[in-house]
Structures are given as C-alpha cells and as structure tokens.
Amino acid sequence: METKLVSIILPIFNIEDNFLKKCVESLLKQTYKNIEIILIDDGSTNNIIDVCLSLQKSDSRVKVHKQVNSGVSVARNKGLEVSSGKYICFVDPDDWVSEDYISDLVEAIESANADLSVSNCFINYKDNNQKNDFLQGESRVLTGAQKNELLYQLVGKKLCRYYPKGIAAGVPWCKMFNRDFLEKNNLEFVPGMKRMQDNIFCLYAFENAKKIAYTKKNNYYYREDENSASHKYSTDIISNFETYFDETFKFLDKYGKEDLMYQAVYMKELTSFNSFFARYFFNEKNTKKFGNIKNEIEQLLETPRYKNALANINYKLLNNQEKIFVFCLRHRFFRILKLLIRLKNR
C-alpha cells in the first residue's frame, strides 16, 4: 500500500549535539519509512549546524535549512513552508520518540479521516520517566463539544473534568496534522511570541478541526530541562505573558466563547504573577530594593488589565494554592508572597 509522505519539523537553536543526534536517530528508525526530517537552524551560535549537515549527509530524508535568528515560531513556520508532506509533525530536538510514533499517528488520523491525531507521552526527568496522558480512557475520535476535553486544558485547569499530571495538550508535538487542514484554516505560529505560542496554535487547531483522533499510546519522550529559559531571570516575562493573554482573548472573541472561558483567562492573568515574582520581581538576580519592587507591582496591578481581572475573581476556577495566592495578591500581601516564592524555589 502506498504511504503518504510525513514531514517532521524540528526547530533548532544552540541545542546540545548529543540531544539532537538521539532525536534524529529515533526518527530515522521509524517503522514508517516515508518521512522527511526538516531541521530548521534558527541562527545558532554554536557548532550545531555542522551536526545538522552531518545528519543530512548520512540520510537523504534529513533536510537542513538555515535562517537568521527569529524565534521558534518563525522556525516552525519556515518548516511548514519548505515541507512537502501530506501530514505534518513537530518534534522538539531535545526529545525522542518510539519507533512506532509516526505509524501510530498515521493510523489514527487515517482510520478516522481526521484533521489531526493526538497521542500521549512520557516526561523524562533525571531519575525516571513519568507517564503523561493528555486524555483519559480508550482511543477514540473527538467531534463537536467533545473537543472541549482538549480545548479547556489550554484555558483553565478547573474547566476540565480531567487535567494531565505534568503537561497539558497545548503542545505541538504528540500530534499529526493534515496539511490540507492547516492550509485551509491558515494555521501557523504567531511570529514574535516568546511565551505559549504553542498554546495559541493548538487553540485554533482544536477549534477548527472537525475530527480529532486520539490514540492512548505513550510514544513520545519529552525531556524536562530544569535549566531551560522558562526557569531563568527575565525582564521580559510580563510583556511575554501579556502578548499571550492578548492572543487568547482574540481567540475567544473570534469564536464567541462562553463567559466562563473569559473568567478562566482572567484567573490566569492573576496566577501569572507567580511567574512574574519568581522570574523577575523576587528573583535573586533582581537587585532593586523591596520598596521599589513593591511600588512596581502596585503600579502593574493598577493597570486596566489586572484591575479588570481582580474585579472578576471567580474562586471556583482556582485550586486551593491558587486561591491563597490570589487572595494575597488582592490584599497586597507582598512579603508573604515573596516568602512563598522563595520556599517554592527551594
């Protein structure tokens, strides 16, 4: 039986060469052979381009493209542009997959004539692999309101009957997309977004898909990196989050979503202060005096975005820890919040 070409897109920036080699080798060992592996080097400054070219030389299915550093969204969009496959997959270059990863996703998408298919993963920590299921139950096809099982995960935990233990469904990997579906709906990643761009892409994909095929197999290995950029000091953390919230509200407005989803995003705006505190305000690399930091937080809370969120608090959409956090934030208990952040980081 003729098999359709699958394009596997890897955005690459300064990754360790042994991680990339392990990832690509796992893709080259796929039982499904009709693939192209597209390596998009996003202006790396180390020697990883040499590794990419070596991998390309070793197997004609590996194809290397270089671009000026423009971010992961632009790199993935470039991969879409240069790819030729009927089906599209995204893989992060520090992860790896089982040998049946592609065949499982192809079988799921074709048997259901779906727009996209979804599988499960393992989260790879230093000492073990933790099973992470994006959905509960058996393999099945989601249509209509059933898609909310995935969509709600991207908006608020408390909206969901089930929420994954480690990672929610708003990631581009563990998925296969029909190219015709992506092109028909003009689906691509938002250039310039530095936070949660994956989440926005998946929001539109889940919303526009007529059928989503779910296979319960755990065949993707996500490498948890404690030294990743998401854990580091950042002076841009607030603006990055606010860009994400703007894009989320744009999605809710476009599709006329229910008020409860708006409330869930308001709560996300408030709980995002957890990241603001950990990565900026109360980060040990922030050398400002506490009084100056306090004034800066006060000014931020007085902006229309956060005043509106504080005016629309729905504690039913928060878990117990989040309730305590938002209560302290609302009453400006900044020293308590600083202590909580420091204890959490330890």
3 state DSSP class of 117: strand
| Residue type for position 198 | D
* Tens of pLDDT, residues 243-282: 999 999 999 999 999 999 999 999 999 999 999 999 999 9
If you average pLDDT over every residue of the chain, what do you get?
95
What pLDDT, in 10s, does the model give residues 76-117?
Answer: 999 999 999 999 999 999 999 999 999 999 999 999 999 999
Q: Compute φ and ψ for 49, nearest 5 degrees.
A: -65, -35
Structure tokens at 149: 């099982």
Helices (H), the chain: 17-28, 48-58, 72-82, 101-111, 148-151, 179-184, 197-208, 237-254, 259-271, 273-276, 290-301, 304-311, 320-330, 334-345
pLDDT tens digits for 138-184?
999 999 999 999 999 999 999 999 999 899 999 999 999 999 999 99
Average pLDDT over residues 303-323: 95
Please give the backbone phi and psi of residue 271, each rounded to the nearest 5 degrees, phi first.
-70, -20
Distance CA 133, CA 115 (A): 20
Least confident of 53-62, 125-134, 303-312: 125-134
Q: What is the pLDDT of residue 128?
A: 85
Q: Tell me how far apart the terminal alpha carbons of the chain are, to the nearest angstrom.
A: 56
Residue 346 reports pLDDT greater than 90: no
What is the signed CA dihedral for 241, 247, 251, 254, rounded to 10 degrees? 140
pLDDT on residue 229: 53
Q: What is the pLDDT of residue 342?
A: 81
Q: Give the model confidence (pLDDT) of 197-253 as tens digits.
A: 999 999 999 999 999 999 999 999 999 876 555 568 999 999 999 999 999 999 999
Mean pLDDT of 280-303: 96
Q: Please choose, from the candidates 286, 90, 78, 230, the residue with its C-alpha nearest in 3D space to the C-alpha of residue 172.
A: 90
Measured from the Cβ of residue 304, the count of other Cβ atoms closer than 10 Å reads: 7
Average pLDDT score over residue span 50-55: 97
Cβ neighbours for 50, distance < 8 A, ≥ 6 positions apart: none
pLDDT at 224: 86
pTM of the model: 0.95
Where helices occur in 122-226 by DSSP H, the ranges are 148-151, 179-184, 197-208
Q: What share of the chain is helix, strand, coil (3-state, %, to 5)?
A: 50, 15, 35
At residue 1, the pLDDT reads 43
Report the DSSP pairing between strands 35-42 and 62-67.
Answer: parallel
* Continuous H helices in 227-319: 237-254, 259-271, 273-276, 290-301, 304-311
What is the per-residue pLDDT for 6? 98
